[in-house]
Amino acid sequence: MFDFNLVTIIANIPALMIGFAFHEFAHAWVADRLGDPTPRSQGRLTLNPFVHLDLFGTLMALLYRFGWAKPVMTNPHYYRGDKRRGQIMVSLAGSVMNLIVAFVVMLLWFVTMLWIQGSEWYDIIYLVFESIVYMNLGLGVFNLLPIPPLDGFGVLSGLLPERFAPQLNMVEQYGMIILIVLLFTDILGKVLSPAVFGILLVYQKIITLLLTPFLG
């Protein structure tokens, strides 16, 4: 999963900007729709990637394809309706958006490759599309892990009863340390890579079914 290939890293830059921008915008948009003015007031309701980048999370994403951006600050007290359900929805929004982006870009990838066959730009365009798809799948799956500060921890916090709050607070204090250890021991790669490739395979089958009538 660790990759120092310069060409791959360069191709991952636009992929990362798209992945992070849509991920964080989704968090901000859902929170805003639920009535929380915080993301809008802090300028996070935007697809501008430079607003959302976190230095360390960006480096991890470039090298590992699993990373994170600057968290969107929210205040669940503003959420309309069930606050815990709102927390789960906001937490899930980023990963769901990444999975949607990955599918749409993968569909465009297939169509574009058929259209430009034989072009001198084929290999470069192929690599860019590939990077965007894999980056978004990686971000989507990685951020679902129930480890602070990732979104999966927000989902877990929203699902567990209030009596578990002290234990969750304790785990939150050591979340970043746990995350760094898992990243540098490549345990996450062994766990998450099968999930990413499994989703990729499902997407391929769906897109093939969608495009087959037009390719006959």
Catalytic residue IDs = 24
Query: Concatenated DSSP letters for 132-164?
Result: HHHHHHHHHHHTTSSSTTSHHHHHHHHHS-GGG
Residues 6 or more apart in contact with residue 190 via CB below 8 angstroms: none
CA-based nearest residue to 67, from 120, 1, 16? 16
CA-based nearest residue to 70, from 49, 53, 56? 53
For the record, the structure tokens of 161 come out as: 């009863």
- The DSSP secondary-structure symbol of 76 reads G
Cα 177 from Cα 198, distance rounded (Å): 28
Cα 74 from Cα 44, distance rounded (Å): 10
